[in-house]
Homo-oligomer: A and B are copies of this chain.
Amino acid sequence: MPRDKLKVIMKPLSSEMKAIESVINRNMSIVQPPLDSMLRCSMAGGKKLRPALIVLIGRLFKSNRRRTHILAAAIEVLHSATLIHDDLIDDSSLRRGHRTLNATWSPGATVLAGDYLLARSVSLIAGLNEPRLLSILAEVLHTMSQGEIRYHYSAECKREKAVYFRSIEAKTAALFSAAARMTGVLAGRSRREMDILGLFGREFGIAYQVVDDILDITEAESRLGKPSGSDLAQGTITLPVICHIERGNDDKLINKILSGRGTVGDTRKIIRLIRKSGAIADALQEAGLHARKAKRALSKLPAGTANESLRELIDYIIARKH
C-alpha cells in the first residue's frame, strides 16, 4: 500500500521530523491570535516531503543535524507561504480537505499570512549564515514568481507539453531542486555534487507534480480533499488533459470548461473520458521517465541507507494515490 510505504520510509526519520516541527513551532510563537491558529492550521497536514528529502540528503552526507533541521523548517515554511499566496492567486477554496485561508479570510489577511511566513523562512535561512544559501533562495523565489506570472499573463499555448513542463518546473520542481542544493551547501559538497543534487531535486519535483496532476483526474474527492478535476475547472491544463487531446480526442468540452462556461456535470464527464482514453497511462509514463532520471542522479551520490530511502521515496511518489 503506497500510504504505508510512506510510513515505512518516514519511520526512521521520525525523531528528526519532530525536531524540525519544533523549529517551526518556535518560530511561529510570536504571531498574534487569531492569525496564529490560522497559520498553524495551514501548516498542518501535507506529506512533509521537502523536510524528508532534506533530512535524507543530510544523512547521505552526514551533515550537522541541527543546521539541517533549520534548513528543512525554512523550506517547509517557505512552501506554506507559496501555497497560501497561490491559493489566493488561483482563487482555490479547498486544500488538503480544509478551506484555504483566502476562502475564509480577506485577501489582505491572506497576503499578510504568506508574507509573514516568507519573512520567517528568510530569517531561518539567514541564521544559517551561508551566503550560497541566499543566492539559491533568491533564485528560487524569482523562478517561482516569474513562473506564476508567465503562466497567468503570457500568451503562450498552454496545451503544449513544453509549456506545461516549464510551468511545473517553476511551480514545484524549482523548490525541490533548491532544497536539495541547499542541503548540499550545508554539507559543503563539491560543485559537481551540487549539480547532481539540483538535478535529482528537479526530476523528483517534476515526477511528483505530474502524479499530483494525474491524481486530480483519477481520484475521488474523499481522497483528494477537494473535488476531482479541480485543476481543469479552475482553468489549468495539466498533462493528462494534454495527453488526452494529443490522442486526437475531441476538445470541445475541454474548451467549454476552460472558458468558464462548463457545469459540474461537464467536468465529471470529461474526467470519465480522460480516465478511459489512455491519457493517464501516457502521463504516468512521463512521470516514470523523470523518476528514472531522479534515480540516475542518486546513483552518482554516496550509497547507503539514506540513498535507499530516497529511491523508495521516488517509488512512493509515483505509486501514491493521494
Query: What residues make up the interface of A, taking CB atoms closer than 8 Å to B?
Result: 30-35, 85, 88-91, 102, 107-112, 114-116, 118-120, 122-123, 125-127, 129-131, 134-135, 137-139, 141-142, 144-146, 148-150, 152-154
The answer on a CB contact under 8 Å between B111 and A138 is no
B-chain residues with CB within 8 Å of residue A125 when the two chains form the complex: 134, 138
B-chain residues with CB within 8 Å of residue A31 when the two chains form the complex: 146, 149
The answer on a CB contact under 8 Å between B126 and A137 is yes
Which of B32, B34, B88, B109 contacts A150, CB < 8 Å?
A: B32
> Closest chain B residue to A31 by CB distance?
B149
The answer on a CB contact under 8 Å between B89 and A112 is yes
The answer on a CB contact under 8 Å between A85 and B115 is yes
The answer on a CB contact under 8 Å between A153 and B34 is yes
The answer on a CB contact under 8 Å between A107 and B109 is no
B-chain residues with CB within 8 Å of residue A134 when the two chains form the complex: 122, 125-126, 131, 134
The answer on a CB contact under 8 Å between B111 and A114 is yes
Taking A90-B108, A111-B114, A116-B145 as contacts, is the C-beta distance between A138 and B122 under 8 angstroms?
yes
A201 to B130, CA, bound (A): 27
Can you list 18 A-B contacts with CB-CB less than 8 angstroms, sorted by A residue number? A30-B146, A32-B149, A32-B153, A85-B115, A89-B108, A102-B107, A107-B107, A111-B111, A112-B145, A115-B145, A116-B146, A116-B149, A119-B142, A122-B122, A123-B139, A125-B138, A126-B131, A127-B138
Which of B32, B88, B120 contacts A111, CB < 8 Å?
A: B88
B-chain residues with CB within 8 Å of residue A129 when the two chains form the complex: 131, 135
